[in-house]
Structure 1
């Protein structure tokens, strides 16, 4: 039986230990975020080099997200029970090895398989990065620490399209993946020496293997059905996958309610703030995943940007995220998360609607920049308070599970948006490379994404109390 280690003294923001802790967690999370967003801008180059169909490109994105969404709950639970730093380091090493395989893939199938392995590594490192912050920092410093994590890790996600474009145009799309290897080595060196270990107190219990299997099957089967439905919605394998996914989802819910050691404790969702924050997460990240995919493809396919220019078009929002995320986290601690979690998604929706008008001949300064800035302002206002609310609403011994739940919700939302939106607007096969076809579906998809952001703000206003972050 494994018992919790005596807790290390709380870390104060501004100390040397806090800087090492933030450096390791930001670099690791940033590595995963950068990779996820950089891949979007590299999709046309991957498609041309590997002769990939639209479905194969979708699986290049969703294979990673699927594995992450399906296994991140297990990753959070492993960290809580057996050491958050230990599982975090395992995830970083795994992610680096899978990135190397992605970089040398010779066929679409090999790339998709390697991306799935990348997602497994991300599922181990991602919840650990946040749970280490929640477990290590003083309660008074957690909001600002999470804001700093959001800002700097978010930079990696936002700079991903630009850096990906530079790497694609200057060298090869393969460099997008190979860049992760030296970054991971740096994270391992810092975290292995400087980051304190933490785990939940009390007995470790046994793992919910059946819950993990059912959850992964539900997500995988439904995603397969959604992606392949565009080719033939009544094909036997599509229908079988849809039915299997729905049955596995029902089985997962029933099993988690009955087992004595659930992977996802149902009691967490009895907490109104936890449920509200995760509903907002689902809506916001579905909108973000769909709008990001469609925008970078619209810039290249319809507006004629090269990969570098498409990535650079999104760079101005980085400054807003960098400057405002720490402030938003600190502000949410003082006045409550409800207002920023409501206003932020509405600002993001406004930016997305603005960008929905981008078409051939649209000037950057008048047609792209304002929408990008509004999106950046909205996400900077939203992410830190949302993340802090999820962690604060859960018991301290379940911070890894809470982080895993929120990451599962976010990645599943992005996965479903990427899988569903192209089919919903009538795109299949190689339509991503046909300007007249892709351009017709783009404004519809962006409008749907804007509506999702609005739903996220509404969920926050209705379900998140203003005092949830008070220590």
Structure 2
């Protein structure tokens, strides 16, 4: 996906207005990645016979489809019109949200979550392109930081807002998106700029479908491993499908003129390392977030609101630590900061495994590990993203950002699946405690692996844009 570059003269539309409009879509899309976690136990109560392995697809359907379509959706926007693609994406997201709110069973909810994800994938990369197109070159770095900040705000507000809305019924988690999104669509139709597309070639849509199938079959094998049996025909078939579809995806990417993952990106400084770091770290992050929700609500029997408030301190420390991490990079190097983030996150998980008991103890148990893991997130995620994109040429920035975001979503989906596989269906409180302790130790190990991968990262100088001679 090519970054849309604003003309050198003053943009016709105030960039602050554009940022305000598109940030609504970015906030809603990011919010829905996290807000649904606290609603899962209430969904299980509402849908008779639903279990955590089935409901995990409410999270994973969104993450998988969102991940696979990010890059092709961005390229479609650049090809035709980022404005049109953004507004269609926001409208699709609103429609998916409305349908989720009236879902009659788990299967329908999963399908409508996938529709939500299609809209989210369309609006996310095109929103950045619209901001860049409306912003003078000197102000673009600040505009990008603000754009990223709205995504982080969604992560911080998700658990708390979800807890509040679930008090009125879990369907409000989705219904709240509808009026906000519709207002943004109406205003966007009137005020958003419409920079011309580059008319490039169609992206690898077959590759996107193959990627969806690869991740979905792998997640299915993990989620159903205990229920069906790890040696069962269904689980083995899912693993075989993962290998076949993954191989087909690699072949498609190597032969297509506009692949999901451009091989040239993998040769950029740090990029492949940071993509791998993003996958492993977000496996740990996804498992951590869902485990804290399930523990607080299912074991300690806390309400969704109390759970959301209990989780909030972790996300809230992230932006403050992220600012401090920028200072550490110059002294320690990006690799050491990322590695430290992985280790600190792991310490938060070990804290939980060592201190959380069946008797509720928020201060000594859940809170300490939540804050420590939040510090780890603040050290790792922004540093990894910066290291992965800083060596890209300007015309590859948006595409590279989308691929790193895709890696993040893949990690979140796999993390949820791994947690479900480890926890299983324990039959006693003691077995439940042991299962969660195992899950937290595994999560800690994955965070350390992510840190070790990131240790080799270096922060290169950004690639300067080409100099144009005056006409």
Same fold (TM over 0.5): yes
Query: Which of residues 218, 223, 227 in structure 1 aligns to 2:214?
Result: 218
SS at match of 2:260: coil
Distance 1:334 1:17, change over 3 A: farther
Partners of 1:95 and 1:26 in 2: CA distance: 14
1:430-445 alignment runs, 5 A limit: 431=426, 435-445=429-439
Q: What's the CA shift string for 1:33-86, capped at 9, x where partnerless?
A: 222212111111100101212222111111111211222222222233233333
TM-score (norm 1): 0.87
CA contact (8 A) 1:144 1:327 kept: no
SS at match of 1:260: coil
Query: Which of residues 352, 363, 366 in structure 2 aligns to 1:365?
Result: 363
1:235-314 alignment runs, 5 A limit: 235-314=232-311
Q: In the alignment, which residue of structure 2 is the partner of 1:390?
A: 388
Distance 1:189 1:386, change over 3 A: farther
The Cα of 1:308 is off from its aligned counterpart by 0.8
Partners of 1:304 and 1:245 in 2: CA distance: 37
SS at match of 1:272: coil
Q: What's the CA shift string for 1:364-414, capped at 9, x where partnerless?
A: 222222222222223233333333333333333333322321122111111
Distance 1:22 1:444, change over 3 A: farther
The Cα of 1:267 is off from its aligned counterpart by 1.3
The Cα of 1:286 is off from its aligned counterpart by 0.8
Partners of 2:192 and 2:328 in 1: CA distance: 27
Q: In the alignment, which residue of structure 2 is the partner of 1:58?
A: 56
Aligned pair 1:458/2:455, yes or no?
A: no
Aligned pair 1:229/2:222, yes or no?
A: no
The Cα of 1:277 is off from its aligned counterpart by 1.5
CA contact (8 A) 2:3 2:396 kept: no
Aligned pair 1:344/2:341, yes or no?
A: yes
Q: What's the CA shift string for 1:127-171, capped at 9, x where partnerless?
A: 3344555666567655554444444322222221122122112x1
Distance 1:291 1:76, change over 3 A: same
Aligned pair 1:117/2:115, yes or no?
A: yes
TM-score (norm 2): 0.87
Q: What's the CA shift string for 1:438-462, capped at 9, x where partnerless?
A: 3221121112222222222222221
- Higher mean alpha-carbon deviation, 132-141 vs 364-373, is at 132-141
Partners of 1:145 and 1:379 in 2: CA distance: 22
Aligned pair 1:48/2:45, yes or no?
A: yes
SS at match of 2:270: helix
Q: In the alignment, which residue of structure 1 is the partner of 2:374?
A: 376
Partners of 1:124 and 1:450 in 2: CA distance: 34
Give the gaps of 5 or more residues in structure 1.
Answer: none
CA contact (8 A) 2:6 2:132 kept: no
Distance 1:271 1:296, change over 3 A: same
CA contact (8 A) 2:338 2:384 kept: yes
The Cα of 1:31 is off from its aligned counterpart by 1.1
Distance 1:47 1:5, change over 3 A: closer
Aligned pair 1:19/2:16, yes or no?
A: yes
Q: In the alignment, which residue of structure 1 is the partner of 2:469?
A: none
Partners of 2:197 and 2:391 in 1: CA distance: 16
SS at match of 2:35: helix
Partners of 2:407 and 2:57 in 1: CA distance: 19
CA contact (8 A) 2:69 2:121 kept: yes
Query: Which of residues 33, 36, 53 in structure 2 aligns to 1:36?
Result: 33
Q: What's the CA shift string for 1:2-23, capped at 9, x where partnerless?
A: x9987334999xxx94433443
The Cα of 1:95 is off from its aligned counterpart by 0.8
Partners of 1:236 and 1:438 in 2: CA distance: 28
Partners of 1:179 and 1:55 in 2: CA distance: 26
Partners of 1:391 and 1:186 in 2: CA distance: 33
Distance 1:412 1:364, change over 3 A: same
The RMSD of aligned alpha carbons is: 3.1
Partners of 2:10 and 2:359 in 1: CA distance: 52
The Cα of 1:297 is off from its aligned counterpart by 0.5
Q: What's the CA shift string for 1:174-194, capped at 9, x where partnerless?
A: 000111112212433454455
SS at match of 1:313: helix
Q: In the alignment, which residue of structure 2 is the partner of 1:320?
A: 317
Q: What's the CA shift string for 1:96-133, capped at 9, x where partnerless?
A: 10010000011111111111111211221223344555
1:197-212 alignment runs, 5 A limit: 197=194, 204-212=200-208
How many residue pairs align between the two structures? 459
Q: In the alignment, which residue of structure 2 is the partner of 1:98?
A: 96
